[in-house]
Each structure stands twice: as structure tokens, then as C-alpha cells.
Chains A and B, each alone.
Chain A
């Protein structure tokens, strides 16, 4: 099929049909709704938007969402690296089972994760009871939100780093050892730089997911304004009040901050790839 926008002719047919389906579905499901959100924001006007976002309650919610998501993703960055390393490099009983179980947070619906974490960590739950004498309260506090986001973001770093560790050339490690490097130095100066781009990709995916997470968090958070109220919940509250403009303002604020963060991570990633000579 001859379509004007092709750069090079292809003997294969079906460009018009497949490109048409792609653009139609993409537009209806993703582009038009996001466009409607941004369009509504334009209609309200930047000044008004800023006035609506600029309230103590919204800043508290936005800062909570991004702060806890960052903390949970940092934990998952370190734990995910350790888990991926153990799964690829070490042989132990039950390794394949653990490998399969890592994807549990992808498969388990978030609402299910939310209520079961709450049941565990509530003051009368199995873990909650054990932690109470130590003065640690997980459910209905920031720690509970962190716990839920750690659960949600767990597979991302493991699944992005694992294939890279599998591909690692052992000869590099041997070379480093023959040149007199201690194991720790090899890990830090030979292996870690090679894994950095994949680590950052996983971190970015986990962060994006946890910032917007709603289902698993609202049950365990307690949802106290100024304390444990996350930004997505505030959008839902505004929608339930039919205050569409305020919901739009918070939604756009979340989009802008998420994209700025992803852009920054992307820039670091390109920089670290160049540094180790990939691409």
C-alpha cells in the first residue's frame, strides 16, 4: 500500500490499515482524554490553575505522594538489585519459585493488596500487634503508605536489572580480579556502572507507578487531610464533590511533576550510558 508518509518503500502491505487502527485506538483511549484534561486546564487558565493548586492541603498531599514514592522506590532500587543478583548468580533451593513470585505485585489487584496489607498491619493485625510494643505504627501512617508502595514497585527494578546481570561478561570480573581488585572494588567499579542504566530504568518505572498509585494506598493510609492524604485521593474527593476544575488542577500538577521527574531520570540515564560507552 502506498502511503505518503513512509520514509522508505516497503514490500509489505498493510501500513494504512495497521497505522489507521493504531492511531484510532490511541486517540480514543489515550490522546483525546489526556487532551481533554489539558484543554480544560487551558480553559481555566494558568493563573487560576495555580491559585487552585496553591493551597496548603494540596501541597501537603502532593509532597506526601512524591516523598513517599521516592522513599519506596529507593528501597526497591537497593532491594531489587540485591534480589536480582541473588536470583541470577546464586543457586539455592526454591530459586525458581522466588523468581516466579517476584511478579506477584503485577498480578495481584491493588485493592486486594491494599486490604490485606491493612489487615496485617492494623493495630489488631498479625504484624501490627507485634510492632505495637516497639512503638511502631504502620497502618494509618506514612509508614503504611511506604509499605504499600514498596509492595507495588517491587518487581520493576528486579525485572529490568535481571536480564542485564544474566548478560554480564564474567571475563571482565576475572580481569578486574587479576589486576588486583578486591571483590568489593570489582562490584563497585566494574559491575555497578554497567548496571546503572537498567537500574535507573527500573527506578523510573517504579517511581512513576508509585506516585500515581491509589488502590493499595487508600486502605492503609487512613486518609487524614494534611497527614496521610495522597494526591490521587484528593482528585477523587474533588470529583465526588463535582468540583471538576479543582480536580483538573491537581491532575495537571501531578502530570507536570511526574513528567519533569521522568525527564530528569531519562537525562541521567543517557549520561550514564554515554559514560560507560553504550550507545
Chain B
């Protein structure tokens, strides 16, 4: 744009032989193509993304606010909301600790089998949540030796609360580590080494040097994990046993209500989750705009 202004504005500068419009368009597409492309993309986004989102709220409020609020106040809905929040409050911090530990050992040290370890951490991305649930049932369920021993000692994992936490951890497993690893590779370890040489203890250098450096990337990973943990359906459906009021998280409760043709109740609960998703998106965008430099360049995956 500025070259164009220079070329046509300066009196002494020889004018380009070709029309200046063509200069501008040499590294972009013709105007018609651009408009068509933007139009197509916007139309498809509206149909594919916005329509389903609006449909959730439309269906929830089909019989008015009162019916919707009443459905949310039912004991089943309340216990589902409570369970979902508790599961997320346990699974996400555990995964955050794991993510920090994994990123620390992978980025600050060199050991054989490191790439293999990274592959293993990414493994849950390529395993179906249902298969993950099945695997948890096979390990901890009463039909296996280990599971039978656990049940005999009154430690029920499958079809109980711990199973739901494990399933949520499985599906959100790589999130925090994947956000932290590129950021910590970029930052290197010279700052920590300086802190240590000045006499700081290992913990102190971690808390005052490393943690502030990675805080936005950590928050980003935690945000992604929370959204996924609260919304997980497949893996939780398999391990929860769907005991009404006991192991029904919000997504499971939505399925139960939907299958009982309680459409308003199902969509009201879905509306709450959709609102949470919108809050997540807003926070995530805020992080990306404000702290883009402190998130890894490859953060978008």
C-alpha cells in the first residue's frame, strides 16, 4: 500500500508503466475472488457453528424462562452440576501438576527416550474416548483381578466418582504439557541457572523464575482442560454407569433427559454448558490478544 502511494504520489518519480492496481494485486487474489471467498466462509461458519449454538438457547427457552429455570432447579440437574464442578476441580489441578512436571523434565533435561515419552503423552489424542473408558473398566472393573481386589477392599473406582475423575484426566491429559513444552523450550534454562548460581534453592527458583515465565501458557492449558473435562461424554458415559443423582455429570444428565423426551430440561442444562463454553472462548481470546508473546507460537493446534 505504501509503495503504491509513493509511486503515484511523488512528482519526480517515474510512473509505473502498468496500471498501479495490478501492483497491489500481485500478492493477493482478485477482488471478486476475495469477496466470494469471504462470503462463502462466513455463510458456512454461520450454518456449521452459529446455528447449532443458537439452537441450544432457542430450544432451552422454547417454553419460556420459568420452565427453563425450574428444570435447572430440579435435584437431578443440581446434583449433575455439582458433580461436574467437583470432577473438574480435582482432575484439572492434577493434570496441571502433571503437565508442569512433564514439561520440566522434558525441557530442562536430556535423557534417552524423550521423544517416545512425548508421543506417549500425546497418545490420548488418538484414542477414542469410548476406548479409553473401556480400558479403564478393564483395569479397574470388578471383572479383573486388580479390580476385584479393589472392590473387596471397598475401593470402588469404576461406576463411581474416582472412575469419572480418571476418565476426565485421560481425555484432557496432553493439554497442559503441550502448552508448556514449546514455551519452556523457547525460554531455555539460563534464567533458572542464574537464580541457582545466586544461591536460590531449586524450589525458590521454580516459584519465582519459572512459574511467572510460564503462567499465561499454564492458564491457557488449564482453560482448555477445564472446558474439555466439564464437557466430556464418551469416556465418562462408559465408566460412570449412569447412576442417576450419583454418577451423572452434566453431559450424562443431558443424554438421560433427552432420551426421556424432556427436551426443555435437556436443552436448559445444555445451555448452561454452552454459556460456560462461551466464557471459556472469551477468556481464551483475551489471553491470546493480551499475552500472545508469552504463549508459544505453535500454541494453536
Contacts and interface: CB of A to CB of B under 8 A. Distances in A.
Interface in B136-174: 136-141, 143-144, 166, 169-170, 173
A157 B135 CA distance: 29
Interface in B251-271: 251-252, 254-255, 258, 263, 266-267, 270
A264 interface: no
B294 interface: no
Interface in B56-90: 56, 59
Contacts of A160: 300-301
Contact of A163 (B26, B130, B131, B298): B298
B135 A12 contact: no
B104 A18 contact: yes
B104 A14 contact: yes
Contacts, number: 298
A208 B228 CA distance: 16
A111 B255 contact: yes
A212 B50 contact: no
B94 A25 contact: yes
B111 A126 contact: no
A159 B300 contact: yes
Secondary structure of the B contact surface, majority rule = helix
Interface string B92-128: 0010011011101100111110000100110111111
Contacts of B208: none
Q: Interface residues of A: mostly helix, strand, loop or mixed?
A: helix
Contacts of A154: 48-49
A255 B131 contact: yes
Interface of A: 5-8, 10-15, 17-19, 21-22, 25-26, 28-37, 40, 79, 82-83, 85-86, 89-90, 92, 94, 96, 98-113, 115-117, 119-120, 125-127, 150-151, 154, 156, 159-160, 162-163, 170, 173-174, 177, 183, 201, 205, 208-209, 211-215, 219, 232-233, 235-236, 239, 244, 247-248, 251, 254-255, 258-259, 262
5 contacts: A7-B110, A12-B192, A29-B170, A33-B139, A160-B301
